[in-house]
Structure 1
Amino acid sequence: MTWQFTRFGLSTSTEKNRCEVIEPGRQVRLYSAVYDEKGVVTGKGGKFMPFFDGISFYYTAIPASQPYFSLEASIRVDFLNPNLDGQEGFALLLRDSLGLPDDNTDCYMANSAAVLASSFPDEHDRAVRDCLGYRFVWDLSPDHVAQNVRGAGQSVALPFDPAQPLKIREGESYRVRLWRDEAGFHVAYLGDESRQAHFPEPERMLRLNNKEWYLGFAAARGCNITVDDIQLHLGDTEEAATPTRWPLPQPRMKVEFLTPHAPAGMPFPLGFLSRTSGQIEVLASDGEVLAACEAVAGRVTYCPAITFAPGEYLLRYRFVSHETILEGDGVLTAKALRYAEPGLLYTAPAGRADAKGTPEEPYDLQTALHYSMPGDRIILAPEVYAIDSELTVHYANSGTQRLPKTLHCPEGEATIDFQGQGGPFLLKGDYWQISGLRICHSRGDRQGMKIAGSGNRLHHVWLESNGDTGLQIASREDLDPRDWPRDNQIRFCVASDNADPGLNNADGFAAKLACGEGNRFLGCISYNNIDDGFDLYNRISNGPIGRVLIEHSLCFSNGHNLANTMQADGNGFKLGGEGIPIPHLLRKSLALSNDADGITSNSNPAVLIEDCVAIKQGGSNYAIYGQGSDASAARLHNCISIDGAEADRLSGQIVAELAAGTDVFFLAWFRELLALWPEEENWLRFVVAKMCVESMSSELYENICKEFCTIA
C-alpha cells in the first residue's frame, strides 16, 4: 500500500500543517501547531467539525470493494495547545473524499468514521474538551457538498464513556483501531478496557466516491502527534464474516424541564425540550395528569398553562416515544412578589428574596427576574451587583409585545460583576427591554450576556472584560431553527476588552451559529476584543442563520486586549462562515486598525456592504470572497478603503481608494450619529472619551481625541 501526506481544509497552512515521515507506513509525525520556546502557540492549523475537517492527513487509499480491513496504531500526543477551543485534536480517520492539497478556502465535507480526540458532550451534555471518542458521518450526497449544506446528512459524535470521558494528555499514548467487516465499520480505543462503537451500513458512507476510501491519521488546530507501530491488514470475505449485527447510532434519549420558576397566581406554561418526538404528561404527586402535550424533536414545547399558588412543587413527567418511556421530575417554585407601586420592583445588591420590592426593602436581582409579571419595571440601583453564578431568565419568563418586561437603571448605570466566577446573563425569555447596565468579568469561556429569546431590546449596555464574547445572540445549537432567537435589537451598546482563555473566540458582539431572522445592531461600538468586533459565523452542521443588519456601527483595535498583553487575529466585521450564502447587510459603518481584516465576508458569498469605510487594518481593509473557486455574489456600494497592510480581496468589486485621514471619517461617522439620534449625544461623548483614554492613544487617533469634544 502507498502512504502519502496531504493538508487541506479551513485554517490549514503549509507552516502549521506538516508531516515528518520517520518510517513509511510504520511511523510518522503530524503537526498542526507552531509554538515558541515557552510553549505559547503562535499558529494553529485546521479544525475538526461535525461534517468536515481541516487537517494534516497521512493516509492510504482502500478500494471500496475491500471486504475486510483493519488499521491500528499508537498515537502519542507530543504537543497540545494549553488554551483549548474544542476544535483541536487527532484522529484515526476514514473519509470518502479528499480536499485539494494545500487549499484552505473550502470546507471539504465528507462522510466518515473516526476514533477522534476532540470536544464531546458528557452524559449531562456538558462539553468536555479533548477527550477520546468517536464520530460517524453518513448520507452526505454530492448535491449537499456542491451546495455546501448538510441536507439529509447525519452525524453522531460521542465520547466512548459519556459518564467518565477519557481526557487526552500531552506525553501520553493511545492505542486505537478502525476496521471493516461484514457487520460494518467499527472503531475502538484499546486501553485498559476496550471501548468500541459501530456503524452497520457502510454503503451510506460511500456517497461521494464509489471507488475508494481514504484511511489514515489526522491532526488539527494545535495538536502535534507521533503515530507509531502502524498495522494495516487487508482480508478476504471469509475474514470479514461475522454474525453480529449492530443498530444505527442514535442520539441519547433525553427530556429537559425548562421552566423552574413561575409567578404565582397567573396561568403559566410548563416548558420541555426533547431530542425525539413523543407525548409529554405532567403528573401530580398522586399520579393525576395535570397537563399533556405533543413534543416535537428539538423544539421547545409548552404544555397548557397551570396556575400555581405560592410554594415549591415537585413535578413528575412522563415522556413516551416509539414505545419507550422516560420518566423524570423537576422542581418548580412559584412566588407572588410585593410591589412598591403597581408594576414597579426595586432591587439592590444587598436585596432579599423576602423583601417588599420598595426602595427601602428591595429584592435581590434574581428574585425580581424570576417572578416578575408582563409589564413590570425592575429598577436597578446604580451600584455593583456581585454575582458568582449564571444569571438566568428562563423560557416562558417573558413579557408581551404590548407589555414588555423592563430592566433598567434610571439613575445612571448598574454593574453586574461576575467576579471571574459566574456568567453569562442568559436571557431565554421574550420581550424584555434592558438599559443602563454594565456587564463584566464573566469566567473563562462564558459570555457576558447571551440572548436566546426573541423580541428583546438592549440600549446603553456595556459589556467589558468578560471571559468570552461580550454579547452573543444564539440559542443552543440542538434547537430546531424555528426556535432560534429573532427580532432582537441592540442599540447604542459597547463591547470592549473581552478575551477567552483560548484567545480565539471572544468577540465584541456576535449573532452566530443558531439565530433567526430580524436581529439588528444599531450604533454599536466594539473595540479591543481578542477575536472579532462583530461575528456572524455560520456552521454547515446547523444550517443557515437568519439575516442580520448592522448599521452605523464602529469596530477598532480588535485582535488584542487593552493592556496589549494578549494577541490574536481579530477582524472588525466578520460576516459569515463555511461558505453559506446569507444576505447580511452592513451599512454606514467604520472599521479602524483591526489586527486582521476590517470587513470580511469570511466565505459568505452573499453579503451586502453599503457606505462603509475601512482604514489601516493589519490585514486587508476588505476581504470579500466566496468559498473555493466560487466567485462572490457580494455587493459593495459606495465603500472606501484607506491604507490597509494587505491588498483588498474583492472578487472583482471596486472600492474607492482615498488619502483622507482616519480622523476625518471618524468625525463624519460621529456627526452623522448625532444628526440622526441627537438624544444619544451625552452617551456618545462619554463613550468616545472612555475610548480615547483606554485605547485611542496612538498618533492615528490623536485628532479624534482632541477634536471630538468640540463637535456641535
Structure 2
Amino acid sequence: MKNISLIALFCLALASCQKNNSVSPGVADENHSSLAVVNAAASSVTVNTESTLKSAVSAAKAGDIITISGTIKLTSTLQLLNSGTSSSKINLTGGVLDCSGISSGWGVKCNGSYWNITNMTIKNAPDCGLVFQYGGYNYVYNVTTSGNHDSGLQIYNQSHHNNISYCNSNDNYDTQNGGENADGFACKLSAGASNKFDHCTANHNSDDGWDLYGQPSTVTITNCTATNNGYGGNGDGNGFKLGSAGQNVPHTVTNCTSNYNKASGYDGNGNTGHITITGSTGTGNGKALFSRIY
C-alpha cells in the first residue's frame, strides 16, 4: 500500500509539471525555430484593434506572445518599453501595422530589450517605420518596412546586440527632405555594439540601402541585397554606405549584392577603418562598385 501511494503521488506531480509548461508554435526565435517551452505565467493574446494591441504591449512580460490579426491602423506611435529576458523574450508577431493615422513621429519604437518581432509589415509612418532607440538583444525576423517617410528600420542611440534577419525594406521616401534621409536600413548616429543584418533586402529607397553614418561600433552585414536605391532627388543612393568622415570603424560585409543603385555599390564615405568586404558583388551602379574602401 505504501508503494502504491508513492507511485500515485509521483504521477500527480508529473502531470502537474506537464500542465504548467505550454508549447506555443508559430513564433520564430533567433534560430528560426518555433518557441518551445513558455513560462507558465506567460500569456498568449490575439489583437485586432489599436487599443487592445497597446494594452497588451504595455502589460507585456517575459514569454508573452502578442499576435496581430489583420491590419491595425495606428494613430500614435506603438512603444515597446518593457523587457523580456535572455531565456524568455516578449513576442510580437503577425499582421500589418498601418501607421498612416499617426500625425508625426515613428511607427514603432522599441526601448526595451529581449523582444522577438516577427512576420509583420510596418508601413506608412510619417517618420521611420521601426526604431530601436535603447535596450538590446532584440530579434527581428521576416518584417517588411515599406512606404515610410524616413528610414524603414533604424537602430541608434546605444541600442545594441540587435539581430535583423530575413527582413525587407522598400519604397521609403522622406517627402519633407526630397528623399535625402530615407534609407532601407540604418544603423547610425551612435548605435551600440554588435548589431547584425542577415539575409535582408533594401529596394527602391530614396537615400541608401544601408546607412552606417556616424556609427561608432562595428556592424556586421551578411547575405544582404541592395537594389535601386537613391530614387529621391536628394538621396545619395549608395547600396551600402559604410560610415562617415572622421571615423575609423571596421565594419564587415560578407556575401552581399549591390545592383543598380544611383551612386556606389559599397561606399566607405570617408570612414578610414579597415572595412572588410568578402564575397560581395554587384552591377549597374551609377558611380562604382567600390568607393573609398580602405
TM-score category (smaller protein): 0.7 to 0.9
**Counterpart in 2 of 1:291?**
none
**Counterpart in 2 of 1:613?**
281
* Cα distance in 1 between the residues matched to 2:213 and 2:153: 14
**Counterpart in 1 of 2:246?**
579
Distance 1:351 1:596, change over 3 A: closer
The SS at the match of 2:55 is helix
* Cα distance in 2 between the residues matched to 1:584 and 1:568: 22
Given that 1:614 and 1:622 are in contact with CA atoms closer than 8 Å, whether structure 2 keeps it comes out as no
* Cα distance in 2 between the residues matched to 1:345 and 1:425: 21
* Cα distance in 2 between the residues matched to 1:619 and 1:467: 26
* Cα distance in 2 between the residues matched to 1:620 and 1:388: 42
Given that 1:572 and 1:594 are in contact with CA atoms closer than 8 Å, whether structure 2 keeps it comes out as yes
Matched, 1:378 2:61: no
Of the three residues 178, 181, 193, the one matched with 1:517 is: 193
**Counterpart in 1 of 2:206?**
530
Matched, 1:346 2:29: no
Residues 530-609 of structure 1 mapped to structure 2, 5 A cutoff: 530-538=206-214, 545-560=216-231, 568-606=235-273, 607-609=275-277
The SS at the match of 1:576 is coil
The percent of aligned pairs where both chains have the same amino acid is: 31
**Counterpart in 2 of 1:209?**
none
Distance 1:536 1:567, change over 3 A: closer
How far is the alpha carbon of 1:579 from its aligned partner?
A: 2.6
How far is the alpha carbon of 1:567 from its aligned partner?
A: 6.5
How far is the alpha carbon of 1:514 from its aligned partner?
A: 1.6
* Cα distance in 1 between the residues matched to 2:212 and 2:72: 31
> Structure 1 length as normaliser, TM-score?
0.34
Matched, 1:404 2:64: no
**Counterpart in 1 of 2:172?**
498
* Cα distance in 2 between the residues matched to 1:466 and 1:389: 14
Given that 1:347 and 1:379 are in contact with CA atoms closer than 8 Å, whether structure 2 keeps it comes out as yes
> Structure 2 length as normaliser, TM-score?
0.81
* Cα distance in 1 between the residues matched to 2:130 and 2:71: 16
* Cα distance in 1 between the residues matched to 2:129 and 2:205: 13
How far is the alpha carbon of 1:342 from its aligned partner?
A: 5.0
**Counterpart in 1 of 2:75?**
388
Given that 2:128 and 2:151 are in contact with CA atoms closer than 8 Å, whether structure 1 keeps it comes out as yes
Given that 1:593 and 1:617 are in contact with CA atoms closer than 8 Å, whether structure 2 keeps it comes out as yes
Give the counterpart letter for 1:408 in structure 2. Answer: T
Question: Could you give the per-residue CA deviations for residues 199-232 of structure 1, whole angstroms, max 9, x where no partner exists?
Answer: xxxxxxxxxxxxxxxxxxxxxxxxxxxxxxxxxx
Question: Could you give the per-residue CA deviations for residues 399-445 of structure 1, whole angstroms, max 9, x where no partner exists?
Answer: 01011111112xxxx100011535320000000001011000001xx
* Cα distance in 2 between the residues matched to 1:402 and 1:473: 23
Give the counterpart letter for 1:372 in structure 2. Answer: A
Given that 1:599 and 1:614 are in contact with CA atoms closer than 8 Å, whether structure 2 keeps it comes out as no
**Counterpart in 2 of 1:326?**
none
* Cα distance in 1 between the residues matched to 2:186 and 2:282: 20
Give the counterpart letter for 1:440 in structure 2. Answer: K
* Cα distance in 2 between the residues matched to 1:438 and 1:509: 15
**Counterpart in 1 of 2:110?**
427
The SS at the match of 1:438 is strand
* Number of residues of Structure 1 aligned to a counterpart in Structure 2: 249
Question: Could you give the per-residue CA deviations for residues 531-589 of structure 1, whole angstroms, max 9, x where no partner exists?
Answer: 00000001xxxxx621100000000000116xxxx663311000001230100000100
What RMSD in Å do the two structures reach over aligned CA positions?
A: 1.6
Residues 467-482 of structure 1 mapped to structure 2, 5 A cutoff: 467-475=149-157
* Cα distance in 2 between the residues matched to 1:400 and 1:499: 35
* Cα distance in 2 between the residues matched to 1:504 and 1:526: 16
Question: What are the ranges of 5 or more consecutive residues in structure 2 without an aligned counterpart?
Answer: 1-39
Compare relative contact order (CA 8 Å, sep 6+) and give the higher one, 1 or 2. 2
Given that 1:420 and 1:467 are in contact with CA atoms closer than 8 Å, whether structure 2 keeps it comes out as no
How far is the alpha carbon of 1:351 from its aligned partner?
A: 6.6
Given that 2:43 and 2:63 are in contact with CA atoms closer than 8 Å, whether structure 1 keeps it comes out as no
Residues 40-189 of structure 1 mapped to structure 2, 5 A cutoff: none
* Cα distance in 2 between the residues matched to 1:407 and 1:510: 22
**Counterpart in 1 of 2:163?**
489
* Cα distance in 2 between the residues matched to 1:365 and 1:515: 28
* Cα distance in 1 between the residues matched to 2:107 and 2:50: 21
The SS at the match of 1:620 is coil
**Counterpart in 2 of 1:451?**
132
Give the counterpart letter for 2:276 in structure 1. Answer: L
Residues 264-413 of structure 1 mapped to structure 2, 5 A cutoff: 343-350=42-49, 364-381=52-69, 383-394=70-81, 397-409=82-94
Matched, 1:442 2:125: yes
The SS at the match of 1:347 is strand
Judging by fraction of residues, say which structure has more strand: 1
The SS at the match of 2:47 is coil
**Counterpart in 1 of 2:5?**
none
